Amino acid sequence: METPTRIKPAPEHGTAQGAGGEDVRFLRPQTRATGFELIAETVKRLPSGPGVYRMLDEAGTVLYVGKARSLKKRVVSYSRPTGLSARLMSMVNRTVAMEFVSTNTESEALLLEANLIKRFRPRYNVLLRDDKSFPYIVLTGDHEAPQILKHRGAHSRPGAYFGPFASAGAVDRTINALQKAFLIRSCSDAVYETRTRPCLLWQIKRCAAPCTREIALEDYAALVGEAKAFLSGKSQAIRKKLAADMEAASEAMEFERAAVIRDRLASLSHVDSHQGINAQGVEEADVFAVHQDGGETCVQVFFFRTGQNWGNRAFFPRDEGLDAPDVLQTFLAQFYDDKPVPRALFLSHEIPERTLLTEAFSAKAGRKVEVSVPQRGVKRELVEHALANAREALGRHLSDKQSQTKLLAGLATVFELAEPPRRIEVYDNSHIMGAQAVGGMIVAGPDGFSKAHYRKFNIKSEDLTPGDDFAMMREVLTRRFSRLLKEAPRDAAPNATDGDPDALGPWPDLVLIDGGAGQLSTARAVLAELGIEDVPLVGVAKGVDRDAGREEFHQPGKRPFRLPPRDPVLYFIQRLRDEAHRFAIGVHRAKRKKAMNANPLDEITGIGASRKRALLRHFGTAKAVAKAGVDDLIEVDGISESVAKRVYDHFHTDNAPASR
């Protein structure tokens, strides 16, 4: 997509940096005007070309993002109350300013609109609600022997990425089969560089062991190429090639080699056996089905790659009362804003602008993309299967939401809150004798756990006594609420959510602390020092013998109390506490693992990956490097006298780090 062109401003208006950082035309009337008056005045100055418009309220918050083939014709529809729904009337009445970006084509406007909706999450748009990224498989491209990995997040490391997969389990199963089929290494680069003999994976025929040159790097590169081809949709070609190689090896009486190829083919068949539904003839496609009931919408997505089902996931977008085709169309544009588009999309409903969406996705992918609504055959069966899953998922979601509402109401009764809490924050610490100490905060609300709002805190206080849980909790709460006071002052609306009924707001309605009277006292002291007096605090102390079900609850000004053993609210609080415990332990383990895998050579300026690899290959371990003299270090390829002296000085100063 080309960079949007800037609209020249009218003399009495101007340009400004938009909320997204781009140059936009910013229109605000000289005198105070209502939404309809503002729009009527704005329309006179708009071009007839395609573009994206944004409506803003008095605080500068984006209320709505829309795209248009003709900005003038589209925006004029908001200038008269006639024909507008109550939702749009409310939006227009709150609008005090508008921003515009013109684009070269309508498909560019469609992609920009999706990007801005995901960035600003406007109150009046259909919103894709997803707080978890999809896992991918990556074959790294920055090493002599590429590694196969499970990956989440930005594709910042060089390599070939394949996905998305619906779940981490689907990735693990696929990687396991690919290791058997293509013998790609999964060890870290640090382990690879220090190997002197093949590991167990080579023994059980799960790796070709390029680390010790059991296979030449050229032959290993061929295996990696086959794996890439298989994951890129050329699975049938790879199978035919392996079958031909196996037959040739057998005819040449190379039976051991033929057996290895036979096992590789069996592993590829194992991948197919976990498809879960027949996808014959469908190499690369995503299937979308939408179902509405009870005022909610579910969009079910199935991923098919290389003829295999890579899993499915259900989404529950905020639909603003729109019908299924409109929700699906907006959902699709947002869904692929940060994901590669497959070669085909199969939909359960005809959408209003399918041709435009096809053009936009084809331009984004750089190749033809098919967007269709299958009517018969295997493709229709896939859509029907997705529809059935959408209906079941929405039924479970509505049931869970109803149960969650009852539990929140019960929580308000137990802790004597004015109303059921929308945002619950739970805090816990994790460490081993004070080492790698971290704090964790989890958030829950009407829709369950909100993982997008989870936060981790690395304990930074240098004067903290190792293992002092009270001091750790003090630091965590001080940092959390000090920042909250800066970002969302209490003199503003305490839990302003821009009118979004689904938003949790920045301030907690209830804070649960994992601990008893001591931890609660620490939390009260922190909030008192910050001048915060209206956040309800509850300490959840483990029961006698740390038995679940015998927890004691501590609240300021009240005697500790327990709940009946089978009380649903008690089970709910246990789930909240256990999730906080799981999250804090997970953060601690990740930090501990990183510290264990740290290599002293990484701390030396001028020692990059190639020099580090050369040193480890020559000496075997970082400990041996630390003991080496300057003359010994110079013998290593790529290590000059100045670099050797730098390495030597690093390990022979008074504050030199311990070597492993």
CATH number of the domain that residue 621 is part of: 1.10.150.20
Mark whether 604 and 590 lie in a shared domain. no
Mark whether 142 and 219 lie in a shared domain. yes
Q: Looking at residue 6, what is its pLDDT?
A: 33
| pLDDT for residue 59 is more than 50 | yes
| Burial class of 94 by CB neighbour count within 10 A (0 to 12, 13 to 18, 19+) | buried
pLDDT, tens only, 428-486: 988 776 677 888 999 998 888 888 899 999 888 777 777 788 888 999 999 999 999 98
Domain count, the chain: 5
Name which of 266, 289, 265 is nearest 277 in CA terms: 289
| 140 located within any domain | yes
| 627 located within any domain | yes
CB-CB contact of 27 with 101 (8 Å): no
Our separate counts of H helices and E strands in the chain read: 20, 20
Secondary structure class of 371 (helix, strand, coil)? strand
Mark whether 591 and 442 lie in a shared domain. yes
Q: Looking at residue 415, what is its pLDDT?
A: 92
Q: Looking at residues 340-366, what average pLDDT do you find? A: 91
Mark whether 581 and 452 lie in a shared domain. yes
Whole domain around residue 38: which residue ranges?
14-120
**CA 289 vs CA 229, 244, 298, 365: distances in Å:** 29, 40, 8, 22
| 328 located within any domain | yes
Instruction: State the CATH number of the domain containing residue 91.
Output: 3.40.1440.10
| 78 located within any domain | yes
* Lowest-pLDDT choice from 51-55, 239-243, 333-337, 507-511: 239-243
Mark whether 475 and 428 lie in a shared domain. yes
| 471 located within any domain | yes
d(CA 592, CA 594): 5
Residue 574 is which amino acid? Q
| 304 located within any domain | no
pLDDT, tens only, 604-656: 877 777 787 788 777 877 778 888 888 888 888 888 888 888 888 888 765 44
Q: Looking at residue 442, what is its pLDDT?
A: 93
CB-CB contact of 646 with 605 (8 Å): yes
d(CA 517, CA 520): 5
Q: Looking at residue 21, what is its pLDDT?
A: 47
Instruction: State the CATH number of the domain containing residue 444.
Output: 3.30.420.340
516 or 654, which is more confident: 516
Mark whether 114 and 152 lie in a shared domain. no
Q: Looking at residues 493-507, what average pLDDT do you find? A: 60
Q: Looking at residues 213-240, what average pLDDT do you find? A: 83
| pLDDT for residue 505 is more than 50 | yes
| 472 located within any domain | yes
Q: Looking at residue 373, what is its pLDDT?
A: 94
Q: Looking at residues 195-220, what average pLDDT do you find? A: 88
Q: Looking at residues 390-409, what average pLDDT do you find? A: 88
pLDDT, tens only, 569-595: 998 999 999 999 999 898 888 877 776
Average pLDDT of the chain to the nearest whole number: 81
| 368 located within any domain | yes
Mark whether 569 and 643 lie in a shared domain. no
Q: Looking at residue 248, what is its pLDDT?
A: 83
Strands 296-305 and 308-315: antiparallel
pLDDT, tens only, 369-396: 999 999 988 899 899 999 999 999 898 8
pLDDT, tens only, 178-192: 888 888 998 888 788
Mark whether 469 and 589 lie in a shared domain. yes
Mark whether 454 and 582 lie in a shared domain. yes
Mark whether 509 and 451 lie in a shared domain. yes
Using the 3D structure, point to which of 379, 395, 411 is the last residue of a domain. 395
Name which of 522, 483, 523, 530 is nearest 506 in CA terms: 483
Mark whether 218 and 337 lie in a shared domain. no
Q: Looking at residue 654, what is its pLDDT?
A: 53
**CA 428 vs CA 94, 120, 456: distances in Å:** 41, 31, 10
pLDDT level of residue 492 (50, 70, 90 thresholds): low
Q: Looking at residues 296-301, what average pLDDT do you find? A: 91
pTM value?
Answer: 0.69
| pLDDT for residue 29 is more than 50 | no
Q: Looking at residue 613, what is its pLDDT?
A: 77
Of all residues in the chain, the percent with pLDDT exceeding 90 is 21
Mark whether 203 and 246 lie in a shared domain. yes
Q: Looking at residues 16-39, what average pLDDT do you find? A: 54
- Which residue stretches of 204-306 are H helix? 217-231, 235-251, 255-273
d(CA 515, CA 500): 34
Q: Looking at residue 227, what is its pLDDT?
A: 86
Return all residues near 54 (Cβ < 8 A) that are at least 6 apart.
Answer: 18, 19, 24, 62, 64, 65, 66, 98, 99, 100, 116, 120, 122
pLDDT level of residue 30 (50, 70, 90 thresholds): very low
Q: Looking at residue 12, what is its pLDDT?
A: 39
